[in-house]
Structure 1
Amino acid sequence: MKKNLLVFGTCAFALALGLAACGEYGSSNGPTNDHDFDYGEFTDARDGQVYKTVTIGTQTWMAENLNYDPGDVSGMGSYAWSGCYYNASSNCTKYGRLYTWEVAMDDASCGYGETCNASLNPSTPVRGVCPSGWHLPSHREFEELINYIDPSFGYNHTDDASSSTAGEYLKSKSGWDSNGNGTDAYGFSALPGGSGDISDNFYDAGSVALFWSSGVYNSDYAFHLHLTYSNERASLYYNYKKHARSVRCLKD
């Protein structure tokens, strides 16, 4: 890996004076320069699409939004839907595909308005719409991601919660409205794919990134990771399962 000699020298000088180490990744202050990460590559055998991957801490993530077409999903329920933003294939190419929660879960018999056994921290990962060897992240696995970047975030959230800094490091360096780009310091490269629903209503592409988790809040709501152009927060919110959002798969 590349070494940043200037940063190394500065940190060594600080340590020699007995000061705290600087620029450590996973610290509450975040990285002072871009993280030296290496992208991997994964091919989805279902359709041949190739995705960049990146390891952050002990987790290996797809570094691009999932763009797998699950085909006819009407049998999953009244609110099952998957498609491209504004139904334009170019938006699937740019942002990946959008999925309502039951489709993201690959029909867990607990779509919008249904009670199910999905939990914040399932004992067995939910593969959902992800390819073999990968799964839909749980609420707790998103917590782990945020805590690696901002340890002050904490764990065991059962309601809306936010880190004030992690969003800056998870967002891509371009593609966000109103100078809302991030530093992409860990290679997660979050793109603002917005949201949609079965009625062809679409919102916020360019300004908001929303990634489904397998964690359920109640019969109507499930948890998702939320990033926005307007601040540097990374939030775990719950919202309607009937809304369509992006998916980032996590390696088993």
Structure 2
Amino acid sequence: MKLFFKTIAITAITLFTLTACDQANTCDFDASANTLSCSEKTYRTSNLGGKVWLAENMAVYIPDSSVCYGNDHVNCDAMGRLYTWTAATTGLCPKGWTLPTRQDFKNAFGNTSVATLKDGSSFNMQFAGFRYYDGKFADKDISASFWTSDSYDASRAYLVRVTDSTITYEHFNKNILASVRCVKE
């Protein structure tokens, strides 16, 4: 009988945990207000390249897979968190949203100037820098780096790198940490 109740208790705890995780990744999109309300914050959204994009970097805490630039929480509040490619591609984006491809970024950015992309009413690009896999941070206020869903090979994936004068699509080690934007499916 004790085994029966122990099994019931473990099953209930497991179901509660899975339900809580499921609810944590569920957000409410309000197209008229251009917002996506999630448990961690309410994100602004923007229409670019025929899709609805987050107009802010993701800010969900993922143990061992996300950090604030310089390990300073003030940077997370201002610019979102930085993530590994694996974290970015395994359920970080809320339900109904996904990590964009290189082509999604190309369609959204088109011939738009970086100054326009930095505008808060547009993409609201934040030069949040990135973190190397060895733990060193680089390029805050100099560049923005966004993971795409496109893998290059087993150890590298594509990043969109933006400076004041260039937008490039480069492959980097999947263990560096970069910003993430999500796009509505």
TM-score range, shorter chain: 0.7 to 0.9
133 and 216 in structure 1: CA distance in 2 versus 1, 3 angstrom threshold = same
Q: Which whole-Å deviations, capped at 9, do the CAs of 1:81-109 have from their partners, x for residues lacking one?
A: 21111111101001100001111112xxx
Unmatched tracts of structure 1, length 5 or more? 1-37, 74-80, 107-127, 151-164, 173-183
Deviations 1:214-244 (A, max 9, x none): 0011122211111113x1x222121111110
Taking only the aligned residue pairs, the percentage that are identical comes to: 31
Are 1:135 and 2:65 an aligned pair? Answer: no
- 1:199/1:49 Cα in 2 relative to 1: closer, same or farther (>3 Å)? same
More helix by share: 2
Tell me the CA shift for residue 191 of structure 1: 0.3
Matched length: 154
- Superposed CA deviations along residues 20-70 of structure 1, whole A, max 9, x for unmatched, are xxxxxxxxxxxxxxxxxx8611111xx241000011241110001110112
Match of 2:182 in 1: 249
1:189 deviation in Å? 0.9
- Report whether the alignment pairs 1:41 with 2:35: yes
Secondary structure, aligned partner of 2:128: coil
2:115 is paired with a residue whose SS is helix
What are the equivalent positions in structure 2 for 1:1-252 lying under 5 Å apart? Answer: 40-44=34-38, 47-70=39-62, 72-73=63-64, 81-106=65-90, 128-147=91-110, 150=111, 166-172=113-119, 187-229=122-164, 231=165, 233-252=166-185
Secondary structure, in 3 states, of the residue corresponding to 1:213?
Answer: strand
Q: CA deviation at 1:212?
A: 0.4
TM score, norm. by length of structure 1: 0.57
Distance 1:169 1:238 in 2: 25
The question of whether the paired residues in 1 share the 8 Å contact of 2:159 and 2:172 is answered with yes
RMSD of the alignment, in Å?
1.9
The structure with the greater share of residues assigned to strand is: 2
SS of alignment partner, residue 189 of structure 1: coil
Aligned CA distance change for structure 1 residues 219 and 59 (closer, same or farther; 3 Å): same
How far, CA to CA, are the matches of 1:39 and 1:63 in structure 2?
13
Q: TM-score, normalised by structure 2?
A: 0.76
Structure 2 CA distance for aligned equivalents of residues 246 and 99 of structure 1: 6
The one-letter amino acid of 2:59's match is N
| Unaligned ranges ≥5, structure 2 | 1-31
The structural deviation recorded for 1:146 is 2.6
Give distance in 1, aligned partners of 2:113 and 2:168.
9
